[in-house]
Amino acid sequence: MEMIENKIFDEIQIGDQASLTRTLDEDGVEALAVMTGNLNLIDLEPGPADTSMYGQGGGQTSWSAVLFTTLAGTRLPGLGSIARHVDVRLHRPVAIGVPVTATATVMEKRTETGTVVLDCRAVDPAGEEVATGRLEVLAPTVKQRHALRDLPKVQLRRDNRYLDLLKACEGLPALGCAVVHPCSADALRGAVEAAEHQLITPILIGPEDKIRAIAAQENLDLTPYRLVPAEHSHHSAELAVAMVLSGEAQTLMKGSLHTDELLTEVVKKVGGLRTERRISHCFLLAVPTYPRPII
């Protein structure tokens, strides 16, 4: 197993060097944006390749600065060091998938403060400077040597996995939708978000007091939507199916009731939506580790 060992102040010499090589990927840029809350790090409107400093999101350039503090914290001086001052000049964005090598060289030792000054340089495989800088680092005073452990894996959850489907629906008329018993936060929020995307015109069917209480708790504005009172989940399903039969609604959306409660009303021979065809189920899933929706 690979070991990492720091250098305490007394061991550090002028001219000491350390390097590391890292490769940036899209997940890395987005993770940096998530940690900092800086939306500007992400290229929000990707288009033709642009290699200028300002032609893409700032994540590629900001990541270069992070390399220098990582180098100081893990290589020179290493474990236990604290960055006191960071001065970084960014020269060019880092291309996704291209390795970058950062090197730190000790330029100065300050005995009175226990700090060292590092001259840092990051280059791409062609030797072009990506970033340069100087770091003032409080060097560790206690010797440490540890096994190099794997860092935890970060899995990003994206809320835009259905973006292509939503774009395909742009310009289509919203369907009247009977939302059956939306008496949970997820069920009610799903109906409201679908309406905000202009996919449906929801008719909320269920106990009015309960639905309004959930809306207040979740800060959901129900003013634009029709609410049809129902006594309980069975009653909600009955009213919703009747609305589809009459043409008042074109679709059904299942809320927080059991599937069999809804299907009991749907498959009734009299007063239901039953036809000569079989009913089938289709689930659309967004899996965090898979790039496309799964049907």
- Averaged over successive runs of 10 residues, the pLDDT of the chain (295 residues) comes to 88 96 83 72 51 48 82 93 92 86 97 96 93 95 87 70 84 96 97 96 98 97 97 96 96 95 93 88 80 80
Using CA atoms, how far apart are residues 232 and 206, in angstroms rounded to an integer?
Answer: 7
Q: Decide: 53 and 70 in contact? Cβ < 8 Å.
A: no
Q: What is residue 48's predicted lDDT score, i.e. its pLDDT?
A: 43
Burial class (CB in 10 A: 0-12, 13-18, 19+), 116: buried
At 14, list the tokens.
């002028």
SS (H, E, C) 59-103: HHHHHHHHHHHHHHHHCCCCCCCEEEEEEEEECCCCCCCCEEEEE
* Cis peptide bond prior to 207, omega within 30° of 0: no
* Contacting residues for 79 by C-beta, under 8 A, at least 6 apart: 4, 6, 73, 140, 144, 146
Residue 187 host element (H or E) = helix 185-196
Q: How much is the pLDDT for 159?
A: 63
Residue among 153, 233, 165 at smallest CA distance from 199? 165
d(C-alpha 19, C-alpha 71), whole Å: 7
By residue count, the chain amounts to: 295
Domains in the chain, please, with CATH?
3-147 (3.10.129.10), 163-266 (3.40.50.10950)
Q: Which residue is associated with the tokens 């898979």?
A: 290
Helix (H) or strand (E) holding 203, with range, is strand 200-206
pLDDT score for 52 = 45
Q: Which amino acid is at 161?
A: R
Amino acid at 240: A
Partner residues linked to 101 by β-bridges? 21, 123
Q: Which two tokens stand for residue 162?
A: 């259905």
Those residues with Cβ within 8 angstroms of residue 111's Cβ, 6 or more apart along the chain or in another chain: none
Contact yes or no for 153/289 (Cβ under 8 A) = no
Helix (H) / strand (E) element for 179: namely strand 175-180
Q: How high is the pLDDT of residue 204?
A: 98
d(CA 290, CA 284): 13
pLDDT at 64: 77
| Other C-beta atoms lying within 10 Å of the C-beta of residue 16 | 17
